[in-house]
Chains A and B, each alone.
Chain A
């Protein structure tokens, strides 16, 4: 039986917390929201290797806000993203801009502001190589920016993709390739790849019946999970060129998780280490899904079954973001409209991935 423990409840943001994301080394959590600020949280006790002290008076479990970046944006900061090296942060805002923050002498400074989108920027993410940055917006476009090889402080827009017909909600890079996925209010997910002279939208995955709020790749990038306003979570499998089943290169739904979420699913996170999928829902709850253990022994690659392994009454309002720590197995960060960030330790899972 899976065990869930609340490790910390963090407050500081003055309004909805839209996003929480771990640094690549798993030591720092970046959060942002309607109050226009970005906060960085870390735990000095863990750094020193000390055991966490049980202190009934505090609820933060030793996690403290160590930095507040509040002068970058004039409206809601919708998402933040870390560069793979952990030395840079990108933030995107309803003000239509993206800020790149660079660590200089121990402090993050806004070194670049990227402009170009016509409306709110909804998401930003660095590619795993660190060479590219993707952004998406209410203006229906996805932009791909390339880092200048001569200067760290410059990004050039190398492609503007207009395959979506509506507001683009989320962008995600493949964990090892320069392959980009985007999810939209038009209910679809698009996949983009560099064809040499330009980026092309190589596949449109349309199966959801409403807005796709969030997507995430699994560890090796052969699967993608999506969460939607249609109250379902779908698992997609990648069919590459010359696959042995003779399917054209594509992404196909191989599993649909339905009947669990009574309201929109705003966020999904697929843990690269444990294989657990966490979802955050408009019903204030976080759910954790695990592959069906009955299926482990048989060949179920094309029709995996997922079971709800935990239901966490996580927040008092909508859950906007969930994020698995990349280094500490089972440590989950969640954030919501109730202005709080919570850290949960999941244990006693037994899953082979």
Chain B
């Protein structure tokens, strides 16, 4: 499967379960102090991706529990960010697009030297292996992002709309 998700107007998961969102992260005194280094942590990465919009519902990935703070691991030592995401249903054809949106958001917001390892939460999709391989192939991701149609879909999902 190529990055393709146009044409099918039927909703795949018509009645998704909606979950509560977390509270805003409290700002600490140390964070306001410019002399204290704040390493990137899981909560910070979560804040970057929680408001990404689902491609078919007016809901965020957090509200659909596609992303969660406990599925994110960050090492500021090795400069790696590991993100698992959970499609709402195990045959979701939007899984690749959702993954691409998460990757693009992180590529644009994290420092460039960070390595992003993105994969489906183990056991949560029928085609987990194939989708993970595609999302980890940086050449195919780079090419996909030069496709104007696809890029506009991704941009729409990651732009911060207020519903």
Interface on A for B, CB 8 Å cutoff?
Answer: 16, 34, 75-76, 78, 94, 119-120, 122, 138, 167, 169, 185, 210-211, 229, 263-264, 282, 316-318, 337-338
On whether the beta carbons of B137 and A211 are closer than 8 Å, the reply is yes
* Cα(A120)–Cα(B2), bound, Å: 12
On whether the beta carbons of A167 and B140 are closer than 8 Å, the reply is yes
| Residues 108-162 of B contacting A (Cβ, < 8 Å) | 112-113, 115, 133, 136-140, 142-143, 146
Q: Taking A263-B115, A282-B115 as contacts, is the C-beta distance between A120 and B143 under 8 angstroms?
A: yes
- Residue A76 contacts which of B113, B133, B136, B146 (CB distance < 8 angstroms)? B146
How many interface residues does B have (CB within 8 Å)? 12
- In addition to A76-B142, A185-B137, 6 A-B residue pairs with Cβ atoms within 8 Å of each other are A75-B143, A120-B143, A167-B137, A185-B133, A211-B137, A317-B113
Contacts across chains A and B counted by CB atoms under 8 Å = 37
* Cα(A263)–Cα(B113), bound, Å: 14
Q: Would you give the shortest CB distance from A295 to chain B, in whole angstroms?
A: 34
On whether the beta carbons of A122 and B112 are closer than 8 Å, the reply is no
User: Which residues in A have their C-beta under 8 angstroms from that of B143?
Assistant: 75-76, 94, 119-120, 138
User: Which residues in B have their C-beta under 8 angstroms from that of A229?
Assistant: 133, 136-137
- Residue B139 contacts which of A75, A122, A210, A338 (CB distance < 8 angstroms)? A122
* Cα(A236)–Cα(B63), bound, Å: 51
* Cα(A295)–Cα(B136), bound, Å: 38
* Cα(A303)–Cα(B138), bound, Å: 33
* Cα(A120)–Cα(B112), bound, Å: 25
User: Which residues in B have their C-beta under 8 angstroms from that of A34?
Assistant: 142
* Cα(A318)–Cα(B115), bound, Å: 9
On whether the beta carbons of B113 and A316 are closer than 8 Å, the reply is yes
Q: Taking A138-B143, A282-B115 as contacts, is the C-beta distance between A318 and B138 under 8 angstroms?
A: yes
A-B contact pairs, 18 of them (CB 8 A): A16-B142, A34-B142, A75-B143, A76-B142, A76-B143, A78-B139, A94-B142, A94-B143, A122-B139, A138-B140, A138-B143, A169-B139, A185-B133, A185-B137, A211-B137, A263-B115, A316-B113, A338-B113
User: Which residues in B have their C-beta under 8 angstroms from that of A167?
Assistant: 137, 140
* Cα(A119)–Cα(B140), bound, Å: 11
* Cα(A78)–Cα(B143), bound, Å: 10
* Cα(A120)–Cα(B115), bound, Å: 24
